[in-house]
Amino acid sequence: MALVRASKTALATVKPRKWRAPGLKMKLSSVASRPTRVAAPSFLTHQAATVSEIAARRSQRMGSLEGRSAGIVGKSAVDLLEELIEAGEIDVLVTIGPLTNAALLFLKRPDLAGRVRLVSMCGAFTINAAEYNVRCDPEAASRVFAAPCDKLLVGLDVTLKCRMSREMVEALYGLGEEYARVLSSYLRVWMERSGHLPILHDPLAVATVFAPDLVRAEPARVEVELAGRYTRGYTVVVGGEPNARVCRDVDADRFLKLFAERVLRG
């Protein structure tokens, strides 16, 4: 999950000094330089745990991690989010994984939902599939979709159009900076396992924070299928009051050009 405030700091694994839009004071810092917070100990899936029960499991997990890494601090991601939102330090959350932490935050502090804008890389709205981030924890996604905050859902319908070319990959490999070496190592593993060139799912979601016109979004009411034997985790657009904005199209060429300009130049 990335934490974004346009006038302050965003956390993302991209090159710090260039990922900026004109007129927007946004600084990006490598998450590698930040202490790591312990995430939720388990998904909400198939459980009706209370916030206190989840907190107890989280404490147990943090105890088991103690001493393993100097970068892990004794504070959960949910507690950190609560503190930052209350202090006005962030006003945008960007989720690029299962929505468990966001759901736990809104369960613990439903009053905070209206104080942030959510951008979530999740869902598939014209594709017959359960997208990974929703499929991992459908109950969490369902709770987040029901929260009274502004939501932009950046789903597979648009992210699958944003594929790196072989030339872009080779350009990244050729950079000598540390961030490029780290990203290159990730990409090599990803391509070996997937068998195809990288798809920029998460970077597109982050980019919409400061370049919202990259995508065309429409208001919709989105529900998550929780009970289907074969369709659990599907995101379904239904009738009724809209609870989110769903990305329907993307200017992929413009986004890829922006990505190349900001990330692939030494």
Active-site amino acid positions:
201
Query: 264 is written with which tokens?
Result: 């692939």
Tell me how far the alpha carbon of residue 232 is from its chain's centroid.
Answer: 21
Q: What is the DSSP string of 194-235?
A: HSS--B-HHHHHHHHHH-GGGEEEEEEEEEE--S-TTTTT-E
Tally of CB atoms within 10 A around 218? 13
What is the distance between the alpha carbons of residues 154 and 223, in angstroms, rounded to a whole number? 15
Q: Cα separation of 106 and 118, whole Å?
A: 12
DSSP class of residue 18 equals T
Q: What is the DSSP string of 120-164?
A: EE---SSSSS--HHHHH-HHHHHHHHHSSSEEEEE-HHHHTT-B-
Helix or strand run (H / E) with residue 36: strand 36-38
State the CB neighbour count (10 A cutoff) for residue 20. Answer: 15
Cα dihedral 1, 151, 158, 7 sign: negative
